[in-house]
A and B are shown apart, each in its own frame.
Chain A
């Protein structure tokens, strides 16, 4: 009876591993074929530039998560993450967040200035249109007064 359960648990473990491996291979294949679009994964939302802080945060997370998974599989249980490693990740994530804050702030000020300039230009154009309209009306009135 016990050996039956052992066998069943072993088969379930194999099935789970096959499913996880299948999903992992599928994701890798779709990235390789370009079906999962990674072209903008490093691009800043506000501009067409790639973001260095995003790049380093991505690489740190990828490497530390990969090592964590690797050691967890090797030891058969979730391994502990020491404070110094959390500090490395925290520095990287904190820098990313602060960098985004600086960019958003600078972008916000720039957008406000652009919006004010556009508003002023629109007001100027409206005033010019009104002036031209008044000028045309007065010219028409003068022409009518002058007669044929």
Chain B
């Protein structure tokens, strides 16, 4: 049983987080938050930037990990018979492994490109 004040605060927090995400998302879509070159190679000129594969895979895998974990946490706590939570739910080992692997690929690619650029005359 959640006390009424806490229930009110929880509802407000949920709405506030959703509104904050919506406002930031809208600003990104309208171009008010600079997202130019997010997926481009480090060395490339922004005018003709091509996406780097290691960046694309990182974006896809971290968004997947984030959404999967958020769903897991919300499902675990907002079920009809859910008890009061005492901790955030454990992240599955597969999710941690996926994120670690994806970040390793990204960093290896970034380091490789930096080294290649340095060796170039």
Show the binding face of A for B, using Cβ within 8 Å. 10, 13-14, 17, 21, 24-25, 28, 31-32, 34, 38-43, 47-53, 55-56, 59-60, 62-64, 66-71, 73-76, 79-82, 84-85, 87-88, 91-92, 94-95, 98-99, 102-103, 105-106, 109
Contact = CB atoms under 8 A, between A and B. Distances in A.
A134 B70 CA distance: 76
A98 B106 CA distance: 11
A52 B58 contact: yes
Given A75-B86, A76-B6, A92-B103, 12 more contacts: A24-B12, A28-B16, A31-B24, A34-B32, A38-B27, A64-B88, A68-B88, A71-B73, A91-B100, A92-B99, A94-B103, A95-B103
B2 interface: yes
Contacts of B99: 88, 91-92
A40 B4 CA distance: 40
B80 interface: no
Contact of B91 (A41, A48, A51, A82): A82
Contacts of A91: 96, 99-100, 103
B23 A84 contact: no
Contacts of A24: 12, 16
Interface string B32-73: 111111111010001000000001001100110110011001
A34 B66 CA distance: 27
A8 to B, nearest CB: 14
Given A42-B34, A49-B46, A75 B84 contact: yes
Given A88-B99, A95-B107, A79 B87 contact: yes
